[in-house]
Amino acid sequence: MGSVGWSEFWTDPRILGLFLFGIVGTCWGILSFYWNRRESRLDALSKVLQPLIRAAQSLRDANTTRRKCEILKQSFPSERATEAKTRINEMVDRYGEQITESEEQFRVAESEYEARCFRFPDNIAHLVQTALHSLSELGRLVNDGKFDQADTQFKKFSEQYRAVKRAGRGLRLAAPFEWFWKLFAKAERVVATKRHSLTEAQMRQILDLVHKRATTQASNTFAVHPPQVWFDKPDLRNSARIIDELGDAIFLIVFQDGTSRLFTVVELVVFTFLLIDLRMQMRRVHRMASVAALPEAQIEMNVGFAESDVLRPEMVKALLKKVAFSPVSSDSLMWLGDGSSPMTKPTADRGTQLPTSFDEEFNLLREELGIELPSSNLNPKPSGSPFSSSQSA
């Protein structure tokens, strides 16, 4: 066999194929090494983030539970509100369980991080450490009963968690051009509405409360907390521009089962009207059924209104007079959370409550105003370092 020259060596297809195969194999080995190391780091990161998220969820739920409990205690201080008292006792027990669960999960996340932090790059390790400190601060605020500060801290923690997720996620091989397509994503269309008009979502929320009041909460009172301006400016109640002057004011509706909603004056007026109209229809049907001696049956009622008629200044003032407002303003309840009230169960009568009720004068009132109410099909159907101190449950 003769010797192969250098020029012939590079022109031999067999040798060239082996050379290229070696280069591809080397590149594949390097890429596999970095890919497996990245997946190993992501697996370690997920073991830290999972208990971290569970702890944050428990703290958010504990903060919501305690806020509801404080609102119920302020809205129904009387011992006669038996369901409210039962709900408060349940919330106190649930709050203790949620705080305990959050502290356990926080300890797990902290131990997982300390055991695996050497596997993370410096930027991810710093982001995770920041999120841990933020969650610890959230636990302290929830423990101290500072509701609004806790909500703000939870949002801050959520932003920090998203930063960890972005850093750990990197470029996805399943969608490498995802960033490019986001540039052409269509923005959501915002439908403009008239001033003082109710959107479909607002109307659905009102009807849900009407359904609750007519069914599960029919035998209980509920509280309506007006804004502080309602007490500071009594002349406002007789103003011809009451809707405009109370445009941004918030009314808080609280039921004894812990349900609470924030209403504008327009939503409250519509809610009040629908309740009264539904009550009148129920009495009319009951009278007819009694006279005809009809057997018990399930009846579906339709309540409707003309928005322009209900929102007339005279009608608004007349409807608001039918509401027995609570002496506690919604501003004070929404700013609860100075940590001054402990998380305890009610043990003594704290006074009398002004129940929300409507009398039978509305029918005469509607006749006096001469309002014709065309019917529309609106059916009232139903459509949150470790912790420094512990609260006694």
pLDDT in tens, 340-389: 455 555 444 433 333 343 444 445 444 444 444 433 333 333 333 444 43
Residue with tokens 């944050």: 56
The token pair at 90 is 């349940």
Q: Do residues 88 and 69 lie in contact, with contact meaning Cβ atoms separated by under 8 Å?
A: yes
Q: What is the pLDDT of residue 258?
A: 83
Q: Under DSSP, is residue 260 helix (H, G, I), strand (E, B) or coil?
A: strand
Q: For 140-171, what is each residue's pLDDT tens digit?
A: 999 888 888 888 899 999 999 888 888 877 64
pLDDT greater at residue 81 or residue 355: 81
Report the distance separating Cα 378 and Cα 278, nearest Å. Answer: 11
Q: What is the pLDDT of residue 102?
A: 92
Report the distance separating Cα 76 and Cα 59, nearest Å. Answer: 26
In this structure, which amino acid lies at residue 283? Answer: R
Q: In the chain, which residues fall in CATH 1.20.120? A: 9-171
Q: What is the pLDDT of residue 266?
A: 87
pLDDT greater at residue 351 or residue 176: 176
Return the exposure string of 13-37: e unless at least 16 CB atoms fall within 10 Å of the residue's CB, then b. eeeeeeeeeeeeeeeeeeeeeeeee
Average pLDDT over residues 40-61: 88
9-171 maps to which CATH number? 1.20.120
Predicted model pTM: 0.61
